[in-house]
Amino acid sequence: MKPRHQRALLIVGGLAALGVAAYFVLRALESNIAFFISPAEVVAGKAPKDKVFRIGGMVKEGSLHRQDLTVRFVITDTAADIPVVYTGILPDLFAEGKGAVAQGKLREDGVFHATEVLAKHDENYMPPEAAHALEQAQKAQRTLAKP
Amino acid sequence: MRLSKRRKPNALWRNHELKAPCRKATMIPELGHFALILALFTALVQGTLPLYGAQRGHAQWMALARPAALAVFLLVSVAYLALTWAFYVNDFSVLYVAGHSNTRLPLMYRLAAVWGGHEGSLLLWLLMLAGWSLAVALFSRRLPTAMVARVLAVLGLVMAGLLAFVLLTSNPFERLLPAAEEGRSLNPLLQDPGLVFHPPLLYMGYVGLSVAFAFAISALIAGQLDAAWARWSRPWTTVAWIFLTLGIALGSWWAYYELGWGGWWFWDPVENASFMPWLIATALIHSLAVTEKRGSFKNWTVLLAIAAFSLSLLGTFLVRSGVLTSVHAFATDPKRGVFILILLAVVIGSSLLLYATRAPQVSLGGRFALLSRETMLLVNNVLLVVACGAVLLGTLYPLVVDALGLGKISVGPPYFNTVFVPLMLPLLFLVAIGPVLRWKRAEPRELLRPLLLPAVAALVSAALLPWLAGAWRMGVAWALGLAVWIATAIVWQSIDRLRKGMPTASWWGMQIAHFGIAVFVVGVTMVSSYEEERDVKMSPGEVVTVGGHTFKFLGVSEAEGPNYVAAVGTFELYKDGKRLRLLHPEKRHYDSSAMPMTEAAIDAGFTRDVYVSLGEPLADGAWAVRVYYKPFVDWIWGGCLLMAIGGAIAASDRRYRIAVRRATPAVVHSSAL
């Protein structure tokens, strides 16, 4: 093979590899996106059926109930309430009156079955998605930050 | 100002007088602030005059670079010590100290708390950048004066940009008047030895990439992209890469044992922010090898150096602007994000502009055949850069979608795994082949001898090992086969090389780092394929079994730490009916914080970790308990450590210290093989 042909081969090979890579990347991206939907939107029927999505807002005061490893609570954006059920151990920062984000599916009965509840590092931090939901509800909210 | 002479009846006040010598308001924080302002002006001098001098050939102006770098380092050190002092004496009239410390925080964590928040961690960043500049100033005696002047000038400009950022948006010395009675304390998560080392190591790596960047930019300015430039740049890049590797590994280990999540990598945006510069820095190390030895890939190497540093800045933006939902996200201020974004735009924009004007004049370097070491390193670079691009896409996609008003989304870990693993498999395959190929042109028959044995070993292992490990799976067979392929190839090649005499430190460094990859791959494969995790409800006396290990729950008792109370669980660990040891996971409640903290108890072993952590208390003395069995998990961090050790050995090669002198007099193309 002449050097020129070799270079051409190299370039064509490289481009083909990039193309294949791009195809796999985009396909993987497509199937692993979770949309964020606020409780108000869920109530308005905008939630996808049988597809994983995220909801966020505040954990309603007095709504947290445990039975063995099954936890039930209500996520609210002050405009709408969504009951959530989760099995397992919650992150340390999960508490009533704090912001939270849960990922999972909405069942027929209107209960959100969470497979994951988002953990955070800092108690004064509000997940942007939860803050967004509260903002959207356009209700006055108590500040989460301690004085 | 001895205001506290008068006795106050207030108990709290007395307490402070007793414990903290701090109530004397001092000027030390102002001194620190003032030092930072002086540092900014000094950095501007360092960034401009030597550069101008280098262009015009003014020796005196070029000579300014070294003393200026020293001065900046001293000034930033003063600022850093001033803040440390404020933490040491509990000066709660400094807002940052009041927000991140309190009198009951143990001294070690008070000193580490200096970088426990945004402002202080940026100050640490500045100190490290100043330290790297000083190191360049000290260890560059053999480099041409003009080159040193340019490199230090570029570092000075970067320094000035970050100093302006700190002074304008994140001043750690801001006062809180009247002073707080007591500080708010450090986030309990950060009260861990991991905090003491993880951020500094990571920052050393991040910031160290600025040296590689400065070398590339000064070579562009001078129009001298040659082998000598690559040789000077190599050890610096490798050292930065070592720190980055250790920082990421330590962060991963910290998340594993401290956060109680049991995972070692979550594809979290902030993790990605540190991983992307690592991928590019790894590509850069390999590309620099080609540029030094063969004079090829020059343009590409320069672009990688620019990209690596830009990704470090992007990482800072992602972490510090709060634009992403992340486990690492702390309460933040959007103004800062805008400033970093502008800084990023200036750095990338000016670098690429400079690159565009200079790149066409750069010679192409030596030609090479399809089967050659150059090709291998090219493929290595393409794969690493594509992998980085995929991670970047997944990390930024939610931001883009949000900015376009298409809704809020998140990209899950399966995306990253699906994309990343297929890209890495060919890379693993080539790791064993690259080092045995000759530069420029290799013959296929030369591959047979060094690779026949590893190939057989790999095939046998792929067939048998997954079966021994638990259950035969295709993915496991591939990964373990490739790990054995790499490991045996390295051992075999080493024996072969030793017959011809002692190879160089560089060579050993490369082989050890590559061996680290094999170890890492075994760890990742085993833990992700055969781990067992269970969340269970346990009452005292009950047992649970994972991965052949049985935990017996004995109960929970109260214990008191320096600034927390803890519920301490007691578990007996059994294997094959034999009692191994007691495990004590904790649930801590810190005085200063409403949130509880989980401290997992881990029995670490060479081939497996078992792990137990407490969830919440349930009714009747029962607890929610999480138990894990993690086979080979420690090999993940062991592999990273080997990579870092390999890097250190390679960077210590005598060649970098001796050859630099030889390369100095006008050698444009080194023809060394």
Say if the Cβ atoms of B397 and A29 lie within 8 Å: yes
pLDDT of B324 reads 59
- Measured between CB atoms, which of A14, A32, A88 is closest to B411? A32
Interchain contact, A29 vs B393, CB within 8 Å: yes
Beta strands in chain A (DSSP E): 33-36, 53-59, 65-67, 70-76, 81-87, 99-106, 112-117
Q: What is the secondary structure of B134-145 as a DSSP string?
A: HHHHHS-TTS-H
SS3 of A102, please? strand
B261–A124 CB contact, under 8 Å? no
CA distance B69 to B46: 7
Classify residue B491 by its DSSP letter.
Answer: H
Q: Give the pLDDT confidence score for residue B669 in this predicted structure.
A: 39
Of B324, B330, B414, the CB nearest to A121: B330
What is the predicted pLDDT for the residue at A28? Answer: 84
Which CATH topology does B20-191 take?
A: Four Helix Bundle (Hemerythrin (Met), subunit A) (1.20.120)
Q: Based on the domain organization, do A41 and A26 belong to the same domain?
A: no
- A13: pLDDT strictly greater than 90: no
Domain count, chain A: 2
* Cα dist from B233 to B22, B211, B216, B244, B439, whole Å: 46, 8, 8, 17, 21
Q: What pLDDT is stored for residue B237 in this prediction? A: 95
Contact state of B325 with A145 under an 8 Å Cβ cutoff: no
- Cβ-Cβ contacts under 8 Å, B331 against chain A: 122, 124-126, 145
Record the pTM: 0.88
> What pLDDT digit, counting tens, does each position of B319-332 carry?
766 665 544 544 45
CATH code of A86's domain = 2.40.50.140
Would you state the structure tokens that stand for residue B333, as one six-digit string? 């201020």
Residues A27 and A82 in one domain: no
Residue B323 is predicted with a pLDDT of 62
Burial letters for B56-95: b for 16+ Cβ neighbours within 10 Å, e otherwise? eeeeebbbbbbebbbbbbbbbbbbbbbbbbbbbbbbbbbb
Residue A60: name the closest of A147, A146, A141 by CA: A141
Residues A55 and A9 in one domain: no
| Mean pLDDT of all residues in B38-58 | 94
| Residue boundaries of the structural domains of chain B | 20-191, 226-336+363-439, 443-530+640-645, 532-632
Radius of gyration of chain B (CA): 27
**Who contacts B53 (Cβ-Cβ below 8 Å, separation ≥6)?**
B59, B60, B61, B62, B63, B64, B149
B600 to chain A, closest Cα gap in Å: 13
Tell me the mean pLDDT in the region B352-362. 87
Confidence of residue A34 (pLDDT cuts 50, 70, 90): confident
- A78: in domain: yes
Of B187, B407, B409, the CB nearest to A122: B187
CA distance A131 to chain B (A): 11
Q: Which residues of A touch B418 (CB under 8 A)?
A: 24, 28, 32
Q: Do A119 and B261 touch (CB under 8 A)?
A: yes
| Percent of the residues in chain B that have a pLDDT greater than 70, as a whole number | 90
pLDDT in tens, B570-586: 999 999 889 999 999 99
Inter-residue long-range contacts of A22-29, CB under 8 Å, 24+ positions, other chains counted: A24/B418, A24/B419, A24/B422, A25/B390, A25/B393, A25/B419, A28/B414, A28/B415, A28/B418, A28/B419, A29/B393, A29/B394, A29/B397, A29/B411, A29/B415, A29/B419
Is residue A146 one of the residues assigned to a domain? no
For B83, the 3-state DSSP assignment is: helix
The verdict on a CB contact (< 8 Å) between B594 and A122 is no
Distance (Å, whole) CA A53 – CA A46? 11
Do A1 and A68 lie in a common domain?
Answer: no
B567 class by beta-carbon count within 10 Å (0-12 exposed, 13-18 middle, 19+ buried): middle
Confidence class for position B651, pLDDT limits 50, 70, 90: very high
Q: What is the DSSP string of B409-449?
A: EEE-HHHHHHHHHHHHHHHHHHHHHGGGSPSS---GGGGHH
Whether residue A142 lies inside any domain: the answer is no
pLDDT of residue B14: 38
Q: Are residues A45 and A7 in the same domain?
A: no
Could you tell me which chain B residue has the CA closest to the CA of A89?
A: B615
* pLDDT of amino acid B148: 93
Q: Do A35 and B407 touch (CB under 8 A)?
A: yes
Do A13 and A40 lie in a common domain?
A: no
Q: Are residues A28 and A98 in the same domain?
A: no
Please give the mean pLDDT across all residues of chain B: 86
Does A9 lie in the same domain as A39? no
Q: How far is residue B365 from each of residues B303, B356, B620, measured CA to CA in Å? A: 16, 18, 75
Q: What is the pLDDT of residues B469-517, one digit of tens each?
A: 878 888 899 999 999 999 999 999 999 889 988 899 999 999 999 999 9
Per-residue pLDDT band for B209 (boundaries 50, 70, 90) equals very high
Output the six-digit token pair for B197.
Answer: 């080392």
- Which tens digits make up the pLDDT trace of B516-542? 999 999 999 999 999 998 889 999 999
- Give the distance from residue B37's alpha carbon to the nearest chain A alpha carbon, in angstroms: 31
Q: Is residue A145 one of the residues assigned to a domain?
A: no
ipTM rounded to 2 decimals: 0.78
Reported confidence tier of residue A5, pLDDT bands at 50, 70, 90: confident
Confidence of residue B17 (pLDDT cuts 50, 70, 90): very low
Collect all residues of chain B within an 8 Å Cβ-Cβ radius of residue A3. Answer: 367, 369
Contact flag B618-A66 (C-beta cutoff 8 Å): yes
Examine the pLDDT at B3 and tell me if it is beyond 50: no
For residue A53, give its domain range: 35-137
Q: Do A44 and A14 fall into the same domain?
A: no
Q: Which residue of A has its CA nearest to B328?
A: A121
pLDDT number for residue B388: 95
Q: Which of A29, A87, A135 to mutate to test the interface with B (most CBs of B within 10 A)?
A: A29
Across the interface, whether the CB atoms of A101 and B325 are under 8 A apart is answered yes
Please check whether residues A8 and A51 belong to one and the same domain. no
The pLDDT of residue B540 is 92
Cβ contact, residue pair A36, B369, below 8 Å:
no
Question: How many Cβ pairs within 8 Å bridge chains A and B?
Answer: 124
A28 and A85 inside one domain: no
Residues in B closer than 8 angstroms to A121, CB to CB, are: 187, 189, 327-330
- Could you tell me the pLDDT band of residue A17, with boundaries at 50, 70 and 90? confident
Strand partners for B608: B631
Predicted pLDDT of residue B295: 85
> Nearest C-alpha of chain A: how many angstroms from B383?
9
Nearest to A25 among B331, B393, B536 (CB): B393
